[in-house]
Amino acid sequence: MKPALFLAAGLLLAAGTVQAQSAGAVAGIVTDTAGNPLAHADVLVDGGRWGARTDSSGAYRIREVRAGWHRIGARLIGYRALVRDSVFVQAGQTLPLNFALRPTAVNLEPLVVSSPVDSVLDPLATATTQKISAADFRNLPVSSLEEAVALSAGAVGQSYRGGRLGEESFVIDGLGVKNQLDASTGDLGLRLPPDALTEASLVTNGFSARYGQALSGLINVVTKDGGDRWSGRLAYESDRLFSGSWDMGLDRGIFEADGPLIGGVRGLVAVDATGRLDADPVNAPAPVDQLDPRHDEPFLLPHNSGEQYTGLAKLTIPVGARQTLRLLGMRSIDQRLLFDPAYKYDDAFAPGQRTAGTLLTAQLQHTSGAGASLPLVADLRFGYYGRDFIRGTPTDSLDYKFGAFSGQTLHVVGEDIARARDTAAADAALPELEAPAYSTNTPWGVPAFFMGRGSRGDLAWNHYSEYRGQLDVTLGVSSASDLLVGGEVIKQKVETFQRALGYLPVGGDVPPATAGEFTPLAASVYTELQARIADLAFTGGLRYDQFDSRSDLAGTPSKTQRAINPRLAVSTVLKGATVVASMGRFSQAPDYQYLVDAAFDDTTRTGRFRRGNPNLGYEQSWQYELNARVRIRPELSLRSGVYLKRLEGLVASVPLAANPDSTIFGNGDAGTVRGLELLLTREIKDGWGLRVAYTLQSAEATATSAFLLRRLITVDPLTHDTTFPAKAEFPLDYDRRHSLTAILQGQISPTAGPHLLGVNPLGGLEAAAIFRYNSGLPFSTVDSTGQIAGPPNDARLPANSTVDLLVRRPIRLGGFDGSIYFDARNLLNRRNIVAVRRDNGAVQPDNTTLDQIATDAYNRHPEPIPYESPRYRSWADRDHDGYIAGQDELMPLYQAAARDFTQPIFFYGPPRQARIGMELLF
């Protein structure tokens, strides 16, 4: 190798990590039965679509093998070919696979064997990855990708390793997808059907320089290619067979089919539709007052239904001997009616929201032949991703056709003005909106707390779209090293509209509508080298990112932001264990919602009015990790690791002058995350398997808050100097100190158990249970005025735990295999507290607070309620004079209304939810 190449390799090895993508690699040695290496042997995947030829040492390496099950064989003239059947290749990992060929003088049919392959100790797998296979989606009590990923160590819902929502990124078949507009407050808008996936994984450190835009984690998803024969699954599940608190009005239909079409083309189609009459159920206790309508049926919240529809289609098209074209299209729709406690008795005025996501991708892949001296794999990808969100007062009620399925599109008042971003038209009161008034439909009658007639008048709409082009090239420098180069260009479009108090014209205390439209442009390039010398492996890469918001607020033109991100990982095998050390710098552009003006509350506690900043820079982190993987026994493995993240440039609210209700965003905060992760896995053997994940973590950051700063800024009485508080790190919102997840799976032999009337009722029975224990998340306490009483997040919620269960009984119906299953979440119906009142740390106000709330309401409206009024309640008229008057008669009503209004409905987690399902496999 020339000196220049040595220098280039040295520079590359000073940074980077291994891949986390839609493909993996297969590597090993081909020998004869005496152990002598065989040169020039061909190792082929699936009959030759991918392949490699061994070098003089018998070594080979096949790059960019699509994740999933494959048939891999080795052949050489003069030797009997050997085929390994049912080999599973995992995305982003190198599968070690050796062959020993037997000499033969005549041609014989290949010898086909099926034997397990161990990838746990692979030293080239330097990323910290937790896998979810297609079998896990079916065999565990999970219904979505998000639920499955949440089983990983270090996960708190969709927050990973202490990061806030939005600090993760999705990679779907190698193409990055991210809601860059409002990822910290809104989801991706895409719900991948689990039946369409080959595997998914959460990568929390050490992922390739090929990928960016993530500080806390990378969710890597690989969709199926159509199979060589048609197969699929049809399923329906519901809780309609139950009654009472078990019936949440759930219906879900699932269909997936894939197989060959024509001319070698393979297809896949998947549809997943879910309807819930209560889409956000809670385990709140029943009200104590018998007049409360929730007293007898506290389990189903009104005006809280939801519908989710997702359709996915994919074509895999062989273009030539070495080229493959993959086309994928997906559309997701999620619409919700939102329960608002203030509109409990007039829910027609409560808000609704609709989110729609669209994804279109195309991938053209070229692979060189098995005998190429420099094996080359090139992937050219194009993608379109669009997300639409709208929230406001529904124009019409939904007419349910079946369960919670309406088949209607939810529209909101003022939607046409929002989509047109017509701020001039929005200056007037929005048509069809009335000012809210106190409800007359409550059991208590008094004008307090509960609203009716009109809505809150909020209207929010945004549209985000991006066109992405990405080129990735993998060049095999030798059988033990790969060079990766590539880059991407992303053209984005952001459109936003927000209007508050829409039932009033703009002016005075009513802020004007805000609208934004800009077209950010982002780009990146990377290079990476992966090399292995015996049991020592290096991966290193360098990534360059830049973006320009191209958002020109008055007097504040945008600037191009840039970031350079080196990454490095080293791994080796020590006494039967694989030890990996990795480090890297990661950068992500801020949510674009922080670049535009807005008039709503937000997660950074900046108040109702805020000013956008088009020159926000990258949020960044340095991450370091040391982990070890060891196989204790053939079926038992242990993974352990410690990690450190140093966060920089986090988005923070900075006050403008002395008014804490007016702020601008800046990159003002920093933080530190430290943790320990343990993952013990016993693969299913002798009918049972176990997976235990434990995380110990501390995640802290500085907390810039306009309200906190105003309270802590002091003026020296002698010098009259202004003193600003020193910045200190406080627990992040998702700082979960202890997290334990245990998954137990079992299967009974089809021939085991008693036989009754020719039937073996227990034979083939499968079961899986998930136990979770999590320590409480932090929250900030406040004083009587609503100001933060101490340091941010200085208190913690109580710990919570759940037990989920799935029991499946295989059946055969009409020539089809299938099953009947029972799926229960929070089986023990534990009442977990997920929020508290910040003034007293409890779920309910104390009696003193409750009396004060009632007294304040009474003092605002002490007027008598006559018999003719719709507010009159005969049972409250104690002296039967036709008036409810005076403190003796009115105060009990105000107290009852206050107790009703302050019920901690959403302070508790979800209740026990169960469903019965039936599936047919074909």
Q: Which whole number is the average pLDDT over 17-46? A: 79
Concatenated DSSP letters of 659-702: EEEEEEEEEEEEEEEEEEEEEEEEEEETTEEEEEEEEEEEEEEE
Rounded CA-CA distance 617/489 in Å is 18
Radius of gyration of the chain (CA): 30
* pLDDT-wise least confident of 18-27, 51-60, 630-639, 879-888: 18-27
Q: What is the pLDDT of residues 707-718, one digit of tens each?
A: 454 445 566 667
pLDDT exceeds 90 at position 623 = yes
The predicted structure's pLDDT at residue 723: 59
- Please give the residue that has the higher pLDDT: either 679 or 557: 679
The predicted structure's pLDDT at residue 888: 93
Structure tokens at 763: 């034979």
Q: Which of 65-74, 204-213, 806-815 has the highest mean pLDDT?
A: 806-815
The predicted structure's pLDDT at residue 13: 33
pLDDT exceeds 50 at position 602 = no
Neighbours of 565 (CB within 10 A): 23
Q: What is the pLDDT of residues 351-379, one digit of tens each?
A: 999 999 999 999 999 988 777 778 888 99
The predicted structure's pLDDT at residue 659: 56
- Measuring CA to CA, which residue among 815, 820, 701, 720 is closest to residue 764? 820
Rounded CA-CA distance 9/97 in Å is 27
Concatenated DSSP letters of 524-588: EEEEEEEEEETTEEEEEEEEEEEEE----BTTB----EEEEEEEEEEEEEETTEEEEEEEEEEEE
Q: Check if the beta carbon of residue 780 is closer than 8 Å to that of residue 605.
A: no
Task: Give the percent of the chain with pLDDT over 90.
Answer: 54
Confidence category of residue 534, pLDDT binned at 50, 70, 90: confident
- Please give the residue that has the higher pLDDT: either 127 or 624: 624
Cα dihedral 106, 107, 111, 117 sign: positive
- Which residue is it, tokens 């009337």? 757
The predicted structure's pLDDT at residue 19: 42
Query: Residues with Cβ < 8 Å from 159, sequence gap 6 or more?
Result: 165, 167, 216, 734
Task: Please give the C-alpha separations between residue 471 and each of 214, 362, 381, 567, 769, in angstroms, as whole numbers.
Answer: 19, 12, 6, 20, 42
- Nearest 10 degrees: Cα torsion 294, 297, 298, 304: -90
Using DSSP's 3-state secondary structure scheme, residue 99 falls into strand
Q: Which of 63-67, 278-282, 549-553 has the highest mean pLDDT?
A: 278-282
pLDDT exceeds 50 at position 4 = no
The predicted structure's pLDDT at residue 140: 94
* pLDDT-wise least confident of 112-126, 134-148, 574-588, 676-690: 112-126
Q: Which whole number is the average pLDDT over 506-528? A: 91
Rounded CA-CA distance 677/162 in Å is 13
List phi, psi (to 5°) of 104: -155, 145
- Please give the residue that has the higher pLDDT: either 102 or 251: 251
Q: Which whole number is the average pLDDT over 20-49? A: 82
Pairing state of beta strands 266-276 and 306-318?
Answer: antiparallel
Q: Check if the beta carbon of residue 621 is closer than 8 Å to that of residue 570.
A: no
pLDDT exceeds 90 at position 676 = yes
Q: Check if the beta carbon of residue 283 is closer than 8 Å to that of residue 835.
A: no
Cβ-based burial of 777 (10 A; exposed 0-12, middle 13-18, buried ≥19): buried
Using DSSP's 3-state secondary structure scheme, residue 172 falls into strand
Q: What is the pLDDT of residues 97-126, one digit of tens each?
A: 889 998 886 666 677 665 555 555 565 666
Query: Residue 482 region, left (φ>0) first, then alpha (ψ -120 to 50), else beta?
Result: beta
pLDDT exceeds 60 at position 415 = yes
Rounded CA-CA distance 543/212 in Å is 8
Confidence category of residue 755, pLDDT binned at 50, 70, 90: confident
The predicted structure's pLDDT at residue 154: 86
Angle between helical axes of 847-860 and 886-901 (0-180°, round to 10): 120
pTM: 0.87
pLDDT exceeds 70 at position 550 = yes
The predicted structure's pLDDT at residue 607: 47
Task: Give the percent of the chain with pLDDT over 70.
Answer: 89
The predicted structure's pLDDT at residue 604: 43
- Measuring CA to CA, which residue among 136, 198, 207 is closest to residue 172? 198
The predicted structure's pLDDT at residue 693: 95
Q: What is the pLDDT of residues 387-411, one digit of tens each?
A: 999 999 999 888 999 999 999 999 9
Cα dihedral 93, 183, 594, 614 sign: positive
* pLDDT-wise least confident of 122-126, 229-233, 249-253, 707-711: 707-711
pLDDT exceeds 60 at position 18 = no
Rounded CA-CA distance 688/768 in Å is 10
Mean pLDDT of the chain: 86
Structure tokens at 613: 């900043």
Q: What is the pLDDT of residues 851-860, one digit of tens each?
A: 999 999 999 9
Confidence category of residue 603, pLDDT binned at 50, 70, 90: very low
Using DSSP's 3-state secondary structure scheme, residue 604 falls into coil
Q: Which whole number is the average pLDDT over 421-429? A: 93
pLDDT exceeds 50 at position 566 = yes
Pairing state of beta strands 659-685 and 609-611?
Answer: parallel
Element (H, E) at 624: strand 619-633
Q: Which whole number is the average pLDDT over 56-79? A: 84
Q: Check if the beta carbon of residue 778 is closer than 8 Å to that of residue 731.
A: yes
* pLDDT-wise least confident of 370-374, 441-445, 621-625, 803-807: 370-374
Q: Which whole number is the average pLDDT over 746-764? A: 79
DSSP state letter for 143: -
The predicted structure's pLDDT at residue 42: 87
Q: Check if the beta carbon of residue 268 is closer than 8 Å to that of residue 196.
A: yes
Burial 679-718 (b: 16+ CB within 10 A, else e): bbbbeeeeeebbbbbbbbbbbbbbbbbbbbbebeeeeeee
Confidence category of residue 726, pLDDT binned at 50, 70, 90: low
- Measuring CA to CA, which residue among 180, 186, 187, 189 is closest to residue 518? 180
Burial 96-124 (b: 16+ CB within 10 A, else e): bbebbbeeeeeeeeeeeeeeebebbbbbb
The predicted structure's pLDDT at residue 9: 36
pLDDT exceeds 80 at position 266 = yes
Confidence category of residue 783, pLDDT binned at 50, 70, 90: confident
Neighbours of 486 (CB within 10 A): 20
* pLDDT-wise least confident of 409-418, 508-517, 564-573: 508-517
- Which residue is it, tokens 């095998």? 573
